[in-house]
Amino acid sequence: MATETSERTSAEHERGLHGEFRPRSCGHCWPNGAPPVPEPPLSLPTTAPVAAPRRERGESFEPLAAALARWRQHIVVDQPDDPPRDPTIAEDGGPVCTTCNSHRWLRRDLPRDHPQFASTLECPDCAGFRRQKRLERFWGTVPEIYRGLSLETYPTRLPEQRKSLALVRAWLAAERGTWLYLHGRAGRGKTGLAIAAARELGLAATYVGVSQMLIRIASTYDRELRERDQVREVELLEALSTIDVLVLDELGAEAPTAWAEQRVYQVIDARSTDPRLITIVTSNLTLQRLGARLARIDTENGERVVSRLIGRTAPFVVEVEGPDLRLSSLVRSA
């Protein structure tokens, strides 16, 4: 066996297979004998792992609430107290309602076997506020430039300005149900007067420019936009047709198309049939000029729009005169 190993290692050595490996059994690699095998290094002493301290019998963990309170002391910075909340305003920004506890919904009082058991209905005392919130979602709020305006802020330096303001106050004092039509050249303060008058009524109101209204309705035809906000044309028209007070701004400045006049007619016609609904319209055109413009686009609907406006606004068709307030403010600031 040893002879076979020696012959094999000799043959491997002659073939140059050993190289630096130099096996200990090869006499050619180690003519004087292989060195002794080194002893393995001594193993280092190991220490036993330190055990975690044990809790004594009866000793409990720190309560979670106490640990959180101690943690907050290191990270919470004292902040000033919030101002006291108005007791008449609920958390959603609307008036406090004792009927539904400001939830805006009521649960139907029905027997358990009724098919509508556990269903809800809108609180009748909060219907105006919810309608206002829906319209704000549809159309947005009053433009920022008009938010601070009131009847007291309208300029009265000139006689024609005082006349316009007096007519608006007379409309507010008149029997409810009559509409208000404000017309005049650009920059005379028609929109500001309309919004201020709507606020004086104290009812649920919304403001919308006619061009903005038409753009919003047209967006419901776009499939992507419709799927994103899930608002349909009929819902938009219904919202404008049922709000207590509607400020319809810049009538007659919209794109002159039959489609646009049809949508304007739908809103005005729906509101004119309910004597409780109030509409304030502003325009650069008199009713006669507005009728002529609409008749060139859609004779039938144009005549209907003007006829309803005349019937609901008489005698409160007010021409707002005076200087251009926008240019006057620029001159004063220069």
- The model's pLDDT over 182-204, given as tens digits with 9 standing for 90+, comes to 999 999 999 999 999 998 887 88
Asked if pLDDT for residue 294 goes beyond 90, the answer is no
Closest CA to 279 of 179, 187, 207, 206: 179
More confident residue, 4 or 123: 123
Q: Please list, in sequence order, all residues whose beta carbon lies within 8 angstroms of the beta carbon of residue 199, skipping any fewer than 6 positions away.
A: 150, 205
| Range in 43-47, 180-184, 247-251, 310-314 with the lowest mean pLDDT | 43-47
Residue ranges of domains in the chain:
128-333
Look at residue 31 in the predicted model and tell me its pLDDT: 77
Q: Please list, in sequence order, all residues whose beta carbon lies within 8 angstroms of the beta carbon of residue 270, skipping any fewer than 6 positions away.
A: 237, 241
Look at residue 227 in the predicted model and tell me its pLDDT: 54
Most confident of 18-27, 91-100, 134-143: 91-100
* pTM for the predicted model, two decimal places: 0.61
| Range in 14-18, 142-146, 255-259, 290-294 with the lowest mean pLDDT | 14-18
Q: Please list, in sequence order, all residues whose beta carbon lies within 8 angstroms of the beta carbon of residue 59, skipping any fewer than 6 positions away.
A: none
Q: For residue 297, what pLDDT band results from cuts at 50, 70 and 90?
A: confident
Architecture of the domain made up of 128-333: 3-Layer(aba) Sandwich (3.40)
Distance CA 160, CA 198 (A): 21
| Range in 212-216, 283-287, 297-301 with the lowest mean pLDDT | 297-301
Distance CA 144, CA 239 (A): 22
Distance CA 238, CA 126 (A): 18
